[in-house]
């Protein structure tokens, strides 16, 4: 009587099926993990923006010692010169925010960084860039390194211009009193900077397209409003430098409806 020999193990087809299943499950797991990581970064981005807005309000309430042209109650300009010991110290809005966090300090006529800006609330976790670029030592950070928007956030050009001691009249006309903002819930203060190497290098929202907020997450940018809340706005609604005021105009009816 003949006995049949039974093959042990898997056939080639069975192995291929197993490999396909494992690869599919691995892909699904990787996608889920990536989504979770991006969601966590988005949450951190929202937190950073809220803290930046709180810092700007603190600066606005206290005013800036730039020869009296930004008294208490006015929003700070996005850059300029601040009256320092025996001269003027150049600043950006990022410098002022970092000062409230203890990340940099005014030393004579210069701002000295004690913490790298990429480790502060100024860094956008959703950005592919590191704030201050390739500079690793915070003591080596210069004013020009902080004028870039790459890796960080941009400040609304509707709230202030670049202020220098020689621009007294122009600065007077462009200062914005906090009381002037009748609908703070619909006017953007800060938003994610464009990660594009050319557009994102612009420090402010001053100019068509170059400084408008632009985000990498779900085709939208997280923006913090004057009242402190954060929204993710589609990039196509923030297509140019006037987007700060454009969004305000679009949503005026919404603001009136809330009152």
Rounded CA Rg of the chain: 25
Q: Which two tokens stand for residue 79?
A: 């850059």
Nearest to 204 by CA among 113, 80, 89, 120: 80
Percent of the chain scored above 90 by pLDDT? 34
Residues 135-145 as b or e (16 or more Cβ within 10 Å = b): beebeebeeeb
Distance (Å, whole) CA 36 – CA 38: 5
Question: Per-residue confidence at 171, pLDDT binned at 50, 70, 90?
Answer: low
Residues 6 or more apart whose CB falls under 8 angstroms from that of 143 comprise 90, 91, 92, 95, 111
The separation between CA 4 and the C-alpha centre of its own chain, rounded to angstroms, equals 72
Q: Could you tell me whether strands 162-163 and 79-84 are parallel, antiparallel, or unpaired per DSSP bridges?
A: parallel
Could you give the residue ranges of the DSSP H alpha helices within the chain? 12-62, 93-100, 168-174, 243-250, 252-258
Which has more pLDDT, 123 or 208?
A: 123
Q: Could you tell me whether strands 104-107 and 110-113 are parallel, antiparallel, or unpaired per DSSP bridges?
A: antiparallel
Counting every residue written for the chain, the total comes to: 259
* pLDDT of 243 above 70: no
* pLDDT of 208 above 60: no
Question: Per-residue confidence at 121, pLDDT binned at 50, 70, 90?
Answer: very high
Where in the chain are the domains? Answer: 19-258
Q: What is the pLDDT of residue 182?
A: 78
Residues 6 or more apart whose CB falls under 8 angstroms from that of 17 comprise none
Out of 33-47, 91-105, 141-155, 223-237, the most confident range is: 91-105
């Amino acid at each position: 009587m003949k006995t049949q020999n039974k093959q042990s193990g898997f056939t080639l087809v069975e192995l291929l099926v197993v490999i396909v299943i494992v690869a599919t499950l691995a892909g699904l797991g990787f996608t889920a993990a990536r989504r979770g990581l991006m969601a966590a970064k988005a949450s951190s981005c929202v937190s950073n923006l809220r803290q930046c807005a709180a810092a700007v309000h603190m600066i606005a309430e206290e005013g800036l010692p730039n020869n009296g042209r930004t008294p208490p109650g006015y929003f700070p300009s996005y850059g300029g010169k601040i009256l320092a010991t025996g001269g003027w110290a150049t600043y950006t809005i990022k410098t002022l925010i970092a000062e409230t966090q203890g990340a940099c300090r005014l030393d004579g006529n210069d701002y000295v960084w004690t913490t790298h800006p990429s480790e502060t609330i100024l860094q956008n976790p959703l950005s592919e860039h590191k704030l201050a670029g390739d500079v690793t030592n915070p003591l080596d950070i210069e004013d020009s390194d902080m004028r870039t928007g790459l890796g960080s956030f941009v400040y609304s050009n509707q709230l202030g211009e670049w202020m220098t001691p020689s621009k007294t009249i122009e600065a007077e006309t462009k200062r914005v009193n906090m009381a002037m903002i009748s609908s703070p819930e619909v006017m953007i203060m800060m938003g994610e900077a464009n990660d594009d190497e050319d557009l994102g290098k612009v420090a402010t929202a001053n100019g068509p397209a170059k400084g408008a907020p632009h985000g990498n997450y779900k085709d939208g940018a997280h923006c913090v409003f004057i009242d402190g809340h954060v929204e993710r706005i589609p990039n196509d609604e923030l297509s140019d430098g006037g987007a700060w005021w454009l969004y305000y105009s679009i949503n005026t009816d919404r603001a009136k409806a809330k009152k």
